[in-house]
Structure 1
Amino acid sequence: MKKIVYIAGPLFSQAELDFNENVDTRLRECGYDTFLPQRDGKKLSDLIVAGISKEEAVKTIFEIDLQQIHKSDILLLIIDGRVPDEGACVELGIAYALNKECIGLKTDSRSLMDNLDNPLILGAIKGKIATSIDELCTCFN
Protein backbone atom coordinates (compact mmCIF):
# COMPACT_ATOMS: atom_id res chain seq x y z
CA MET A 1 0.00 0.00 0.00
CA LYS A 2 1.37 3.40 -0.97
CA LYS A 3 2.12 5.94 1.72
CA ILE A 4 0.22 9.21 1.51
CA VAL A 5 2.12 12.49 1.74
CA TYR A 6 0.24 15.64 2.74
CA ILE A 7 2.00 18.59 1.10
CA ALA A 8 1.79 21.67 3.36
CA GLY A 9 2.97 24.96 1.94
CA PRO A 10 1.99 28.41 0.72
CA LEU A 11 -0.71 28.70 -1.96
CA PHE A 12 -0.76 32.39 -2.79
CA SER A 13 1.39 33.06 -5.87
CA GLN A 14 1.68 31.32 -9.20
CA ALA A 15 5.30 30.53 -8.35
CA GLU A 16 4.24 28.81 -5.11
CA LEU A 17 1.49 26.86 -6.87
CA ASP A 18 3.90 25.73 -9.60
CA PHE A 19 6.54 24.72 -7.05
CA ASN A 20 3.96 22.69 -5.10
CA GLU A 21 2.95 20.93 -8.33
CA ASN A 22 6.60 20.07 -9.04
CA VAL A 23 6.97 18.63 -5.53
CA ASP A 24 3.77 16.62 -6.01
CA THR A 25 4.95 15.26 -9.36
CA ARG A 26 8.28 14.15 -7.90
CA LEU A 27 6.66 12.41 -4.94
CA ARG A 28 4.28 10.56 -7.24
CA GLU A 29 7.23 9.51 -9.41
CA CYS A 30 8.80 8.07 -6.24
CA GLY A 31 5.70 5.96 -5.62
CA TYR A 32 3.80 8.02 -3.06
CA ASP A 33 0.19 9.12 -3.14
CA THR A 34 -0.28 12.77 -2.24
CA PHE A 35 -2.79 15.23 -0.93
CA LEU A 36 -2.10 18.62 -2.48
CA PRO A 37 -4.53 21.15 -0.97
CA GLN A 38 -4.51 23.44 -4.01
CA ARG A 39 -5.66 20.53 -6.19
CA ASP A 40 -7.46 18.18 -3.82
CA GLY A 41 -8.95 20.60 -1.29
CA LYS A 42 -11.25 23.61 -1.55
CA LYS A 43 -10.41 27.24 -2.22
CA LEU A 44 -11.88 29.89 0.06
CA SER A 45 -12.65 32.23 -2.84
CA ASP A 46 -14.44 29.49 -4.80
CA LEU A 47 -16.64 28.59 -1.84
CA ILE A 48 -17.58 32.22 -1.21
CA VAL A 49 -18.39 32.79 -4.90
CA ALA A 50 -20.61 29.69 -4.71
CA GLY A 51 -22.64 31.46 -2.02
CA ILE A 52 -21.25 29.80 1.08
CA SER A 53 -20.73 32.12 4.04
CA LYS A 54 -17.17 32.97 5.02
CA GLU A 55 -17.61 31.17 8.33
CA GLU A 56 -18.91 28.00 6.68
CA ALA A 57 -16.21 28.17 3.98
CA VAL A 58 -13.46 28.39 6.60
CA LYS A 59 -14.98 25.48 8.53
CA THR A 60 -15.23 23.39 5.34
CA ILE A 61 -11.59 23.94 4.41
CA PHE A 62 -10.38 23.26 7.94
CA GLU A 63 -12.37 20.01 8.19
CA ILE A 64 -11.21 18.71 4.78
CA ASP A 65 -7.57 19.44 5.56
CA LEU A 66 -7.88 17.94 9.04
CA GLN A 67 -9.38 14.74 7.61
CA GLN A 68 -6.59 14.51 5.06
CA ILE A 69 -3.88 14.99 7.67
CA HIS A 70 -5.45 12.14 9.64
CA LYS A 71 -5.39 9.95 6.49
CA SER A 72 -1.80 10.80 5.59
CA ASP A 73 1.30 8.92 6.67
CA ILE A 74 3.73 11.79 6.17
CA LEU A 75 3.46 15.57 6.27
CA LEU A 76 5.87 17.50 4.08
CA LEU A 77 6.31 21.12 5.16
CA ILE A 78 7.62 23.47 2.50
CA ILE A 79 9.78 25.84 4.52
CA ASP A 80 10.85 28.19 1.70
CA GLY A 81 10.24 31.90 2.17
CA ARG A 82 11.22 34.51 4.72
CA VAL A 83 9.06 32.60 7.19
CA PRO A 84 7.01 29.42 6.64
CA ASP A 85 3.34 29.76 5.72
CA GLU A 86 1.16 30.09 8.83
CA GLY A 87 -1.44 27.58 7.69
CA ALA A 88 1.24 25.05 6.81
CA CYS A 89 2.69 25.48 10.32
CA VAL A 90 -0.71 24.66 11.82
CA GLU A 91 -0.88 21.58 9.58
CA LEU A 92 2.58 20.58 10.80
CA GLY A 93 1.50 20.95 14.42
CA ILE A 94 -1.56 18.79 13.86
CA ALA A 95 0.44 16.10 12.07
CA TYR A 96 3.11 16.11 14.78
CA ALA A 97 0.45 15.77 17.49
CA LEU A 98 -0.95 12.78 15.58
CA ASN A 99 2.52 11.16 15.51
CA LYS A 100 2.81 11.46 11.74
CA GLU A 101 6.24 11.48 10.15
CA CYS A 102 7.06 15.14 9.43
CA ILE A 103 9.69 16.30 6.99
CA GLY A 104 10.77 19.71 5.72
CA LEU A 105 11.72 20.88 2.26
CA LYS A 106 13.88 23.98 2.15
CA THR A 107 15.49 25.13 -1.07
CA ASP A 108 15.69 28.74 0.17
CA SER A 109 18.79 30.01 1.98
CA ARG A 110 16.88 32.60 4.06
CA SER A 111 16.37 31.89 7.73
CA LEU A 112 14.92 33.69 10.68
CA MET A 113 17.76 33.40 13.18
CA ASP A 114 21.48 33.06 12.43
CA ASN A 115 21.08 30.29 9.83
CA LEU A 116 18.47 28.50 11.93
CA ASP A 117 14.78 28.09 11.41
CA ASN A 118 12.22 28.28 14.17
CA PRO A 119 13.10 25.71 16.88
CA LEU A 120 9.49 24.49 17.07
CA ILE A 121 9.48 23.70 13.37
CA LEU A 122 12.89 22.04 13.55
CA GLY A 123 11.71 20.01 16.54
CA ALA A 124 8.54 18.83 14.80
CA ILE A 125 10.41 17.71 11.69
CA LYS A 126 13.14 16.16 13.86
CA GLY A 127 15.85 17.71 11.73
CA LYS A 128 14.68 15.94 8.55
CA ILE A 129 15.07 18.56 5.83
CA ALA A 130 15.49 17.94 2.12
CA THR A 131 17.29 20.75 0.31
CA SER A 132 15.98 19.94 -3.18
CA ILE A 133 12.97 18.33 -4.79
CA ASP A 134 15.18 15.48 -6.03
CA GLU A 135 16.39 14.79 -2.48
CA LEU A 136 12.84 14.35 -1.16
CA CYS A 137 12.40 10.67 -1.82
CA THR A 138 15.53 9.76 0.12
CA CYS A 139 14.28 11.57 3.26
CA PHE A 140 11.23 9.42 3.93
CA ASN A 141 11.42 6.25 6.01
Structure 2
Amino acid sequence: MKKAAMTIALLIAVVATAGIVTGGFSYDPAAAQAAARIKVYSAEMRNYFMSDEIVKSKEEWRKILTQEQYHVLREKGTERAFTGKYATTHDHGIYRCAGCGLDLFRSEDKFESGTGWPSFTQPIAKENVKTEVDRSFFST
Protein backbone atom coordinates (compact mmCIF):
# COMPACT_ATOMS: atom_id res chain seq x y z
CA MET A 1 0.00 0.00 0.00
CA LYS A 2 2.84 2.38 0.89
CA LYS A 3 4.53 1.57 -2.43
CA ALA A 4 1.35 2.40 -4.38
CA ALA A 5 0.96 5.72 -2.53
CA MET A 6 4.60 6.63 -3.29
CA THR A 7 4.12 5.74 -6.96
CA ILE A 8 1.01 7.93 -7.20
CA ALA A 9 2.75 10.82 -5.40
CA LEU A 10 5.73 10.52 -7.75
CA LEU A 11 3.45 10.46 -10.80
CA ILE A 12 1.63 13.60 -9.61
CA ALA A 13 4.97 15.34 -9.03
CA VAL A 14 6.17 14.45 -12.53
CA VAL A 15 2.95 15.68 -14.16
CA ALA A 16 2.99 18.90 -12.13
CA THR A 17 6.64 19.54 -13.00
CA ALA A 18 5.99 18.90 -16.68
CA GLY A 19 3.24 21.52 -16.57
CA ILE A 20 5.59 24.06 -14.99
CA VAL A 21 8.48 23.34 -17.34
CA THR A 22 6.30 23.62 -20.43
CA GLY A 23 4.63 26.77 -19.17
CA GLY A 24 1.36 25.17 -18.18
CA PHE A 25 -1.31 23.53 -20.25
CA SER A 26 -2.77 26.57 -22.02
CA TYR A 27 -2.55 27.04 -25.78
CA ASP A 28 -1.04 30.28 -27.04
CA PRO A 29 -1.81 30.79 -30.77
CA ALA A 30 0.77 33.60 -31.07
CA ALA A 31 3.51 31.34 -29.69
CA ALA A 32 2.46 28.52 -32.00
CA GLN A 33 2.53 30.90 -34.98
CA ALA A 34 5.98 32.17 -33.99
CA ALA A 35 7.27 28.60 -33.75
CA ALA A 36 6.04 27.93 -37.30
CA ARG A 37 8.39 30.60 -38.75
CA ILE A 38 11.99 29.57 -39.32
CA LYS A 39 15.10 31.46 -40.40
CA VAL A 40 16.81 29.90 -43.42
CA TYR A 41 19.48 30.86 -45.95
CA SER A 42 19.06 31.15 -49.72
CA ALA A 43 22.18 30.74 -51.88
CA GLU A 44 20.43 32.51 -54.76
CA MET A 45 19.49 35.54 -52.65
CA ARG A 46 22.77 35.31 -50.67
CA ASN A 47 20.83 36.20 -47.57
CA TYR A 48 18.71 34.84 -44.75
CA PHE A 49 14.92 35.06 -44.80
CA MET A 50 12.00 33.93 -42.68
CA SER A 51 9.94 31.04 -44.01
CA ASP A 52 6.94 29.07 -42.87
CA GLU A 53 7.78 25.60 -41.65
CA ILE A 54 6.29 23.04 -44.05
CA VAL A 55 3.66 20.85 -42.42
CA LYS A 56 2.15 18.01 -44.45
CA SER A 57 0.38 14.78 -43.61
CA LYS A 58 2.01 11.41 -44.32
CA GLU A 59 -0.27 11.04 -47.32
CA GLU A 60 0.72 14.45 -48.73
CA TRP A 61 4.43 13.64 -48.35
CA ARG A 62 3.93 10.24 -50.03
CA LYS A 63 2.34 11.97 -53.05
CA ILE A 64 5.34 14.25 -53.69
CA LEU A 65 8.27 12.00 -52.69
CA THR A 66 9.50 8.76 -54.18
CA GLN A 67 9.34 5.72 -51.90
CA GLU A 68 13.08 5.98 -51.18
CA GLN A 69 12.91 9.75 -50.56
CA TYR A 70 10.01 9.23 -48.17
CA HIS A 71 11.92 6.53 -46.29
CA VAL A 72 15.04 8.71 -45.93
CA LEU A 73 13.37 12.07 -45.28
CA ARG A 74 10.35 11.11 -43.21
CA GLU A 75 11.31 7.80 -41.54
CA LYS A 76 14.99 8.51 -40.76
CA GLY A 77 16.03 5.78 -43.18
CA THR A 78 19.11 5.64 -45.38
CA GLU A 79 19.95 4.45 -48.85
CA ARG A 80 22.51 1.67 -49.21
CA ALA A 81 26.12 2.87 -49.28
CA PHE A 82 27.65 3.47 -52.74
CA THR A 83 24.24 3.21 -54.47
CA GLY A 84 22.84 6.76 -54.43
CA LYS A 85 23.10 8.97 -57.50
CA TYR A 86 24.98 11.65 -55.56
CA ALA A 87 27.66 9.37 -54.07
CA THR A 88 29.95 9.85 -57.08
CA THR A 89 28.54 13.05 -58.60
CA HIS A 90 31.02 15.90 -58.95
CA ASP A 91 28.81 18.40 -60.78
CA HIS A 92 29.02 22.03 -59.68
CA GLY A 93 25.94 23.35 -57.90
CA ILE A 94 23.76 23.35 -54.81
CA TYR A 95 22.39 20.23 -53.12
CA ARG A 96 18.78 20.85 -52.07
CA CYS A 97 16.21 19.06 -49.92
CA ALA A 98 14.05 16.73 -52.05
CA GLY A 99 11.03 17.56 -49.87
CA CYS A 100 11.07 21.35 -49.68
CA GLY A 101 13.82 22.56 -52.02
CA LEU A 102 15.82 24.24 -49.24
CA ASP A 103 19.51 24.81 -50.01
CA LEU A 104 21.59 22.35 -47.96
CA PHE A 105 25.16 22.04 -49.28
CA ARG A 106 27.48 23.52 -51.92
CA SER A 107 29.32 21.16 -54.27
CA GLU A 108 32.57 22.94 -53.35
CA ASP A 109 32.17 21.58 -49.81
CA LYS A 110 31.75 17.95 -50.93
CA PHE A 111 34.56 15.46 -50.30
CA GLU A 112 35.23 11.74 -50.69
CA SER A 113 34.88 10.22 -47.22
CA GLY A 114 34.94 6.59 -48.32
CA THR A 115 31.60 5.97 -46.58
CA GLY A 116 29.55 5.57 -49.75
CA TRP A 117 27.38 8.61 -49.06
CA PRO A 118 27.93 12.23 -50.07
CA SER A 119 29.95 14.01 -47.39
CA PHE A 120 30.39 17.74 -46.91
CA THR A 121 32.73 19.85 -44.81
CA GLN A 122 29.89 22.19 -43.84
CA PRO A 123 26.24 22.98 -44.60
CA ILE A 124 25.33 26.00 -46.69
CA ALA A 125 24.03 27.50 -43.42
CA LYS A 126 23.67 25.86 -40.01
CA GLU A 127 20.02 26.98 -39.87
CA ASN A 128 19.23 24.94 -43.00
CA VAL A 129 20.34 21.59 -41.58
CA LYS A 130 19.08 19.80 -38.48
CA THR A 131 21.49 17.40 -36.83
CA GLU A 132 20.81 14.90 -34.09
CA VAL A 133 22.65 12.01 -32.49
CA ASP A 134 21.54 8.61 -33.78
CA ARG A 135 21.89 5.85 -31.23
CA SER A 136 19.49 3.47 -32.96
CA PHE A 137 22.15 1.08 -34.31
CA PHE A 138 22.63 -1.84 -31.92
CA SER A 139 20.21 -0.25 -29.44
CA THR A 140 18.14 -2.41 -27.13
Larger Rg: 1 or 2? 2
- Larger helix fraction of residues: 1
- TM-score range for the pair, normalised by the shorter chain length: under 0.3
